[in-house]
Structure 1
Amino acid sequence: MSGARILVVDDDAAIRTVVREALRRAGYQVEVAASVAEQRAVMRRFVPQVLVTDVVLPDGNGLDLVPEMLRAHPDMPVIVLSAQNTLATAVRATEQGAFDYLPKPFDLGELTRAVADALAATGGTAGAVPDGPAGDGLPLIGRSPAMQEVYRTIARVVANDLTVLVLGESGTGKELVARAIHDLGPRAKRPFVAINMAAIPRELIESELFGHERGAFTGAAARTAGRFEQAQGGTLFLDEIGDMPFEAQTRLLRVLQEGEFTPVGSARSIRADVRIIAATHKDLPRLIADHAFREDLYYRLNVVPVRLPSLRQRIEDIAELARHFLDRAAAEGLPRKLLDGGAIERLAAHGWPGNVRELENLMRRLAALSREEVITAGVIEQQLHGGGVIEGGPALAPSGGLADAIELHLARYFAAFGRDLPPDGLYDRILAEVERPLLKLTLAAARGNQLKAARLLGINRNTLRKKLTERGIDPGDVRRMG
C-alpha cells in the first residue's frame, strides 16, 4: 500500500482496529501496537512518519514517549489520545512536544485530519482526507455517550464475520451502521448489497434473495442472480427484517444454518460466502410472541445486537449533525447556511419523531428556501410547525381552516420518514400535539380559571385537571401567560 506510514499505539483492541482501518481507507500504511514494548518492537522494522499514541498504556505512559520519540526522530510528529480529558493532560501533552492532542471519545474524521495536518507540517504525504466537517467517508457522526457505545460495539465486530442485528427507530441510520461495519472490515473491497424486506412483494422475496432459473415461474425469461449471489465475498444487509414473510424466514434460517442456498427452480446449491447484517425498527420478541417471527431465526440474527439511539437520546449531537447536513447541502450546490445559537437551542428542543432523517430533510429544506445566510430560531420554529417558510418572506401556510393546517402538519410529519412509516403509537402522539396547545390557550383565555376553561372545552373540571397533569401543563404558568 502506498502512502505515509502511521503507527497507532493503544491498549484497547477495538480502538486499534477502528483507527487502523479508518487510516488505511484514507490511503496510509498503518501498523498498530498495544504497549510501549510492542511499539518499540514495531519501530525496529517500521519507522512511522506520524505516531498516534494513547496516554495510559499497560507498561508506561504515552506522554513520556513523546520526548524520547522526538529525540530519536525529530521530524516525526506525535499525536496524543487520552480519556483523561483534563486541562492538565492537554497542557502536559503540549509541553512534552506533542503535535496535537485529541481527547477521547474522538471523531475518526478529526483524527484523520490531524494526521494529514501533521504530515503536511513535515512535508510528508497527506493521503486522502475525508471531506466535510465530520468526514463524509466516515458516515457516523456524534460524540454523545449513546453513540460512543455504538462505536465500541462496531469496533469489536468489524474484524470478524459475526452476524449483526441493528435495532432502532426509523430514521436513526441503521444502514449507515451496516455500511460502516462493512467498510471498516476485511470484506470492504467486496460488494455491499442491501435489500429492504418491506419493499419487496411477498411472492418475490425468495427470488430476490436467492435468484431463480429460467422458466422457474411465469415471466422468468432468464436466469437471475439473487442478492445472496450478488453479495458473494461481501456483506448482505437485510433491512426491515421484521417485515419478512414467515415462510421466507424458514428458507433464510436454512441458509444461515447450512451456509448455502438454492435458487428458485434449481436443483444445485451455491455456497453462501456473505456476512449478514440485519436491521429492524420493530420489536422482534413481540413478533415472536405473536407468531409472526421465528424465534430460532431471531437467535441466529441476534448474535451481536447494535442498538441505535433515537435523536431524542443524543441531543448533544444535534448541532454537529445539523452543521454536517448544511455543509453537505452546500457541497451539492445549495446555498451555504449557518445556524445561530437560538436555532441550535430550538433544534435541541424538538422531539424528532423522524430522527436523523428528519433533521437532514429539515436542513436541506432550509438550505433551499431560506433567503438569509444565518438561520434563526424563528425560522426553525416556522419550518417545524408552520409552513414552507422563506426567510424574510411569508409563510406558505394553508389557506383553509384548522383541518387544512393539521393535514399539512401531518403530511410533513409523514414526509419526514421518506418511504418508511413513523414509530407505532402515532394516534396518541398526534392527539397530544393538538391537545396541549388547546389546553394552554383555552386556560389562558379563561385567565387561569379552570372552571371556566372546562366549560369552554365541554369537559368537567376533574377531567381538565387530569389532562393538564398528563400534558405537563402548569396552570400557574398559563395564568402568567394570560
Structure 2
Amino acid sequence: MTATILIADDDRSIRTVLGQALTRSGYQVRTTGTAATLWRWVEDGEGDLVITDVVMPDENGLDLVPRIRRVRPDLRVVVMSAQSTLTTAVKATQRGAFDYLPKPFDLNELLAVVGRALAAPPAAETVEGEASEEEKLPLVGRSPAMQEIYRTVARVTATDLTVMITGESGTGKELVARALHDYGTRRAGPFIAINMAAIPRELIESELFGHERGAFTGATSRTQGRFEQANGGTLFLDEIGDMPPEAQTRLLRVLQEGEFTSVGGRAPVRVNVRIVAATHRDLRALIRQGLFREDLFYRLNVVPIRLPPLRERAEDIPALARHFLAANRQKGLPAKTLTEGAIERLKAYRWPGNVRELENLMRRLAALYPQETIGEEVIAAELAETASAEPVAPTGEPETLAQAVERHLRAYFAGHKDGLPSPGVHERIIQEVERPLIQLTLAATRGNQIRAARVLGLNRNTLRKKIRELEIPVIRGLG
C-alpha cells in the first residue's frame, strides 16, 4: 500500500513544494498549517509518517513529538526547522524524532530521510518526551559544516560511544565535548578534562590513574586520578596526540577492560567512564612515525567529529561576534555593536586562532573602546599587526589561490625553528588543501559522490577512499 505522509508547516509555499515532491515520488500526502489539525489526524490513526516544522502558530512542533510517540510509538516523526541550532537538533532527537532537517534542505535529502523512516523497524519502546529547560548554547553557527556537527552530536548524546574530536587550536573542541556530556545520559555525573600537552610526561600516568602512598618521592598519600574522578561521567582527554607511549598502553587497557591499576598499586580499579578525546594533530601521521598506537587510535576514533577552522565557515562570524558581545555584557563589560563594514572586515580575516581569537577580540573591543558602535576602522587597526589580516592582494585585486597558499606557507615555515617544518610537510599541506576542496564540492553537490567525483575529475572509488582517509563527514541521503 502507498504510504501516507502528514506534513505540518505554517508556510503555504513549503507545504506545496514538499507535497508536490512527495506526491511525484508515489506517496499520498496531507498538509496542514496547524499543530492542532496534525494532532487530530494522528489521534484518528491517519498517516504513516509525520513531517513537522518547529514553529507553528498554535504549538511548538517539538512539543508534539513526545505526545505522538506516546499514542503511536511506531509513527516516525521528522522535524524540520529554520532555527537550526544545536539545541533544536538535540531536543528533536531527545524527544524521539526519527531525524532532524535544518532548513533549507535539498528535496533529495528529504526523500532519502522519508525512505529510511518508512523502512525503519518498529520502535521497541516509547521515548520519554519531556526535555529540560533550554540551556545556554555551547556552540554557535548555522553554516552547513556546523549543522552536520549538530546532527552528529544529537545522535550520539544518548550513547556511550567514544568520540574523537579533531580540529585546529581554538575551534572549540572542548565545547563539543561538554555538549556531548551536558546533553547526554551522563549529565548528572562529573565532566573531567585533562590536557595532555599541559602535563609533564613523567606525571601523566599519575594524573590519569592516580598513585599510592610511597609510589614515588613526594607521594605522601593515595591520590585519585582523573579516571576515578570521572567515574559515572565523562573524561575529556584533550591533545591526545601528546600522550607518551607508556600511558597510551595503559589507556588502551582501560578502554578494553574497563579497569586499571594506580601507579604503585596492585589491586585493579574498575570505572564506568565515557571517553571523549581531542587533538589538533594528525594522528595517522603520528602512527606512521611510530608515535601513536594504531590500536588505540581505532578504539578512540569510534565517532569522529572534525571541527572546521573559522575561515571555512565565515558565514558564522556575525552570529559568533554577537554571541561573544552578549556574553561580555553578562560579565559586566559595556555593550557594543558592530557596523556592517566591521563585520565584513571580520569575515575577510583568516583567523589563525579561530573562534578563540574572535572571542578574545570581542572582549578587547568591549574593554578598551569607549564608543558603543565599533566601525571598520577599529577592526582594521586591531587586525593590522597580523600578516594574514590582509583580505586582498596589494594591488587591490582579489587574492588568488596561489597567493593565499603562498602567504599561508610563508607563515607556516616562519613558525618553525630555522624556518624548516618537520619531515612530511608535503603530505600535510596536500591534505590541508585537499580536505576543504572535497568538502566544498560535496556540499555543492548535496553529498552526491558521483557528481562530486565528476567535478573533481576523480574516480568515484578514489573519492570514497579520500573521504575515509581524510575523515570527511559524509552528507547523508545521496551517493
Aligning the two structures, in what range does the TM-score lie when normalised by the shorter sequence? 0.5 to 0.7
User: 2: CA distance between counterparts of 1:61 and 1:107?
Assistant: 28
Q: Does 2:303 match 1:304?
A: yes
Q: Conserved in 2, the CA contact under 8 Å of 1:171 and 1:355?
A: yes
Aligned to 1:270: 269
Cα drift, residue 69 of structure 1? 6.2
Cα drift, residue 109 of structure 1? 5.4
Cα drift, residue 81 of structure 1? 5.2
- Paired residues for 1:1-40 under 5 Å: none
2:143 corresponds to which letter in structure 1?
Answer: S
Aligned to 2:375: 376
Decide whether aligned partners of structure 1 residues 263 and 373 sit closer, same or farther in structure 2, where only a CA change above 3 A counts: same
- Paired residues for 1:18-417 under 5 Å: 63=32, 66-68=35-37, 82=53, 103-104=81-82, 106-108=84-86, 137-386=136-385
Cα drift, residue 202 of structure 1? 0.7
Unaligned runs of 5+ in 1: 1-34, 40-53, 73-79, 84-89, 114-126, 387-404, 410-424, 434-482
Cα drift, residue 68 of structure 1? 2.5
Deviations 1:212-253 (A, max 9, x none): 111111100111000000000000000000000111111111
User: 2: CA distance between counterparts of 1:99 and 1:236?
Assistant: 35
Aligned to 1:479: none
Cα drift, residue 254 of structure 1? 1.0
2:158 corresponds to which letter in structure 1?
Answer: A
2:331 corresponds to which letter in structure 1?
Answer: E
Cα drift, residue 112 of structure 1? 11
Aligned to 1:268, the other structure's residue is in SS state coil
Cα drift, residue 426 of structure 1? 7.7
Q: Conserved in 1, the CA contact under 8 Å of 2:32 and 2:38?
A: no
Cα drift, residue 61 of structure 1? 5.3
Percent identity between matched residues is: 59
Cα drift, residue 183 of structure 1? 0.7
User: 1: CA distance between counterparts of 2:373 and 2:52?
Assistant: 35
Q: Does 2:411 match 1:429?
A: yes
Aligned to 1:208, the other structure's residue is in SS state helix
Deviations 1:275-326 (A, max 9, x none): 0000000000000011110111001100000011110111110000001001
Cα drift, residue 64 of structure 1? 5.7
2:85 corresponds to which letter in structure 1?
Answer: D
Deviations 1:355-398 (A, max 9, x none): 00000000000001111101111100101115xxxxxxxxxxxx
Q: Conserved in 1, the CA contact under 8 Å of 2:336 and 2:366?
A: yes
Cα drift, residue 103 of structure 1? 3.2
Aligned to 1:278, the other structure's residue is in SS state strand
Aligned to 2:292, the other structure's residue is in SS state coil
Aligned to 2:32, the other structure's residue is in SS state helix
Decide whether aligned partners of structure 1 residues 68 and 279 sit closer, same or farther in structure 2, where only a CA change above 3 A counts: same
User: 2: CA distance between counterparts of 1:299 and 1:128?
Assistant: 34
Deviations 1:145-187 (A, max 9, x none): 0001111111111111110000100000000000000111110
User: 2: CA distance between counterparts of 1:203 and 1:431?
Assistant: 31
User: 1: CA distance between counterparts of 2:60 and 2:257?
Assistant: 52
Larger radius of gyration: 1
Cα drift, residue 258 of structure 1? 1.0
Q: Conserved in 2, the CA contact under 8 Å of 1:105 and 1:148?
A: no
Would you identify which runs of 4 or more consecutive aligned residues in structure 1 move more than 4 Å? 54-62, 69-72, 97-102, 108-113, 127-130, 430-433
Aligned to 1:438: none
2:288 corresponds to which letter in structure 1?
Answer: A
User: 2: CA distance between counterparts of 1:245 and 1:138?
Assistant: 35
Q: Conserved in 2, the CA contact under 8 Å of 1:325 and 1:364?
A: yes
User: 2: CA distance between counterparts of 1:98 and 1:271?
Assistant: 47
Decide whether aligned partners of structure 1 residues 237 and 143 sit closer, same or farther in structure 2, where only a CA change above 3 A counts: same
Q: Conserved in 1, the CA contact under 8 Å of 2:89 and 2:150?
A: no
Q: Conserved in 1, the CA contact under 8 Å of 2:196 and 2:243?
A: yes
2:35 corresponds to which letter in structure 1?
Answer: V
Q: Conserved in 2, the CA contact under 8 Å of 1:81 and 1:104?
A: no
Deviations 1:313-365 (A, max 9, x none): 11110000001001101110111000110011000000000000000000000
2:172 corresponds to which letter in structure 1?
Answer: G
Aligned to 1:45: none
Decide whether aligned partners of structure 1 residues 427 and 189 sit closer, same or farther in structure 2, where only a CA change above 3 A counts: same
Decide whether aligned partners of structure 1 residues 253 and 109 sit closer, same or farther in structure 2, where only a CA change above 3 A counts: closer
TM-score between the two structures when normalised by the length of structure 2: 0.59
Decide whether aligned partners of structure 1 residues 176 and 295 sit closer, same or farther in structure 2, where only a CA change above 3 A counts: same
Q: Conserved in 1, the CA contact under 8 Å of 2:194 and 2:237?
A: yes
Decide whether aligned partners of structure 1 residues 62 and 241 sit closer, same or farther in structure 2, where only a CA change above 3 A counts: farther
Number of positions where the alignment pairs a residue of Structure 1 with one of Structure 2: 316
Cα drift, residue 427 of structure 1? 6.8
Aligned to 2:192, the other structure's residue is in SS state strand
1:363 corresponds to which letter in structure 2?
Answer: M
Aligned to 2:235, the other structure's residue is in SS state strand
1:107 corresponds to which letter in structure 2?
Answer: T
Deviations 1:445-466 (A, max 9, x none): xxxxxxxxxxxxxxxxxxxxxx
User: 2: CA distance between counterparts of 1:269 and 1:276?
Assistant: 19
2:247 corresponds to which letter in structure 1?
Answer: A
2:37 corresponds to which letter in structure 1?
Answer: E
Aligned to 2:142, the other structure's residue is in SS state coil
Aligned to 1:314, the other structure's residue is in SS state helix
Aligned to 2:411, the other structure's residue is in SS state helix
